[in-house]
Chains A and B, each alone.
Chain A
Amino acid sequence: DAGVIQSPRHEVTEMGQEVTLRCKPISGHNSLFWYRQTMMRGLELLIYFNNNVPIDDSGMPEDRFSAKMPNASFSTLKIQPSEPRDSAVYFCASSRRTGMNTEAFFGQGTRLTVV
């Protein structure tokens, strides 16, 4: 398996622009997580899905952030409009729900810089 695939790996955009981050989870995994990592705040859970349904989006910082999972093999995280404080590494992770001991596999992340 290719693992969790995220794109783009790097994104530099101007303040006010729309940014879309993409994630392809591991085939057969039914939980998908979006995290944001910064030096100041560490790894924050933004939203997670079970079977393509958003279960908890309490970590989404503002209405400027939205996430979708139209099918089991694809998810997007969108920021509109983007702001410099959104600069961070965004990770997508997936896991297979087989009881409580579930390992989350991470993509390589998208490094977002908003100038």
Chain B
Amino acid sequence: RKEVEQDPGPFNVPEGATVAFNCTYSNSASQSFFWYRQDCRKEPKLLMSVYSSGNEDGRFTAQLNRASQYISLLIRDSKLSDSATYLCVVIPGTGGFKTIFGAGTRLFVKA
């Protein structure tokens, strides 16, 4: 089993739609979680951290479910500019700061 797994998609949604991605992780002792965004032919960049209590940044909401070992990202009122690949990231917490990326979920927002 991979350490971090995501549905690769693609998700094709119209502008204004709400879309949600899930990501599961295998190491129950994992300490830190993030969502990164990667545009086509660009490097990944941090979108937001995921806190135990859940957190929101504008149209984006991230949540953590430790019992089921998954994190989620919710995007409300999708914009064309949200089209990208969203990468789930986990720091297992053992072995230093090993940072594991999921394979990513591709999102296409259509006009």
Contacts and interface: CB of A to CB of B under 8 A. Distances in A.
Interface string B80-110: 0000000101010101111111111000000
Nearest to B89: A104
A107 interface: yes
Contacts of B103: 41-43
Counting contact residues on chain A (CB < 8 A from B), the size range is 20 to 34
Contacts of A107: 43
The 3 A-B pairs at the shortest CB distance, nearest first, are namely: A42-B103, A106-B43, A43-B101
B22 interface: no
B31 interface: yes
A33 B99 contact: yes
Contacts, number: 59
25 contacts: A31-B97, A33-B99, A35-B101, A42-B102, A43-B44, A43-B104, A45-B99, A48-B96, A48-B98, A48-B99, A50-B96, A56-B96, A93-B99, A95-B97, A95-B99, A100-B93, A101-B32, A102-B99, A103-B34, A103-B46, A104-B46, A104-B89, A104-B99, A108-B42, A109-B43
A51 B87 CA distance: 26
Interface of A: 31, 33, 35, 41-43, 45, 48, 50, 55-56, 91, 93, 95, 97, 100-104, 106-109
Contacts of A43: 44, 87, 101, 103-104
A108 B97 CA distance: 21
Most chain B Cβ neighbours within 10 Å, of A50, A56, A106: A106
A42 B101 contact: yes
Interface of B: 31-32, 34, 42-46, 49, 87, 89, 91, 93, 95-104
Nearest to A55: B96
Most chain A Cβ neighbours within 10 Å, of B32, B87, B98, B104: B98
A45 B32 contact: no
A100 B32 contact: yes
